[in-house]
Amino acid sequence: MSELFGKFVSGFCSHLGDVSVSGASDGPLKGLSFAVKDIIDVEGVVTGVGNPDWFASHGPAPRHATVVQQLLDAGADLAGKTITEEFAYGLIGENYHYGTPVNPRAEGRIPGGSSSGSASVVACEQVDFALGTDTGGSVRVPAAFCGLFGIRPSHGRVSLRGIMPLAPSLDTCGWFAREAALFRWIAPVLMDWSDKPAPTRVLIAEDAFDLVDDDVRDALGPAIARVEALFGAAKPIRPSERAGLAGGFPQWQQAMQVTRGSEAAASHLAWIRATNPEMGPHFRERFEAGGDYGPTDIADAMSKRAMIDGYMAGTLGDDAILLVPAAPAAAPPARAEEALYDQLRTRNELYNCTAPLARLPQVSLPLAETADGPVGLGVIAGHGNDEMLLDLAVAVAG
């Protein structure tokens, strides 16, 4: 079915027309431009969420999302809204209705999603930075595929007011940038910044690296060495075997699928059934599958999530970081067979569910390249230690 997603386009939402707002006359971000994913409200503009029927049936947003207002107040200029996969429920970056945003770092390959347009416009140097959202990897994976810095903040650190929910207990609003210094500079505008010490312990998730392509593992070797040179030798651990869940990462994945699926269905399935919108292949099925989970399934997922959360909190504390691959492979070709995309989704979800389930911050650092394109090093810290990761990004980038 993926051949239906054939059109490559600019990452900006051309169907919205000109969407631009000037920032304040002064502020720490004066002179910089940004874009926002089209699930984030901009006053006077319909938030289209990647679906034409949603766009046609909803009115303009009455006010800016909190994050948009914060950036404007800091002097940044809004340059436009960007393409998202429908309802932000995807990892590939293709949109059946509006096309696939360009990945300038890997010609002919997907940008990753669901924040595909935001990653694309930053990688194409059309804006200085862009906002995306990350529920299951929608900032971290596009950042890796497009060679960008990207962050999924700790759950609750960045406001979600004025942002369409997908799975509220997992949703976060993050951002992309090309330069480490700007990547870090954005953070005090969007969150209450509190200086944190550098990490004193470095951990590496061997079981996560077991799941990735050999070329990704090899390419990330020098990046890991750069982190070790600054913060100490990495101690190998295997989180999937230590959190108390028999069955390892597949149990983590199941907790993620039930949590995200049931919450996504609660957010949007009633509207989908009432409206019967045209949707790209497989998107309606994801919401319907989420609606099939019952109370027993949800209670089981909550129990597993609590075990994962507790294990990660105890393992990381306030002084450790955990290294993982930001994505399990370089960007696959666009218009690939759906089976290839499903393999990517599965491998990503097995270990990249860690930060969402435990409400943790994770950055993607653009420190490596394969023959097929960029790959990123993922770094996770304890809840609330976003500042540690942002300062680390600057230090590692040199």
Instruction: Name the residues annotated as catalytic.
Output: 37, 114, 138
What is the rounded distance in angstroms from the CA atom of residue 227 to the CA atom of residue 320? 12
C-alpha distances out from residue 199 to 9, 207, 267, Å: 41, 22, 38
The one-letter amino acid code at 179 reads E
Q: What is the CA radius of gyration of the chain?
A: 19
211 is written with which tokens? 């799941």
The H or E element that residue 185 is part of is helix 180-190
CA distances in angstroms from 38 to 24, 44, 47, 48, 158, listed in the order given: 22, 13, 6, 6, 17
b/e burial code for range 331-342 (CB count within 10 A of at least 16 → b): bbebebeeeebe
Q: Tokens for 154?
A: 């700790």
Distance CA 23, CA 31 (A): 9
From the list 114, 92, 96, 153, the residue with the least C-alpha distance to 329 is: 92
Angle between the N-to-C axes of helices 249-275 and 338-352, in degrees from 0 to 180, rounded to the nearest 10 = 120
In the structure encoding, which two tokens stand for residue 186, read together?
Answer: 């954005």
Instruction: State the DSSP code for 236.
Output: E
Cβ atoms 358, 309 nearer than 8 A: yes
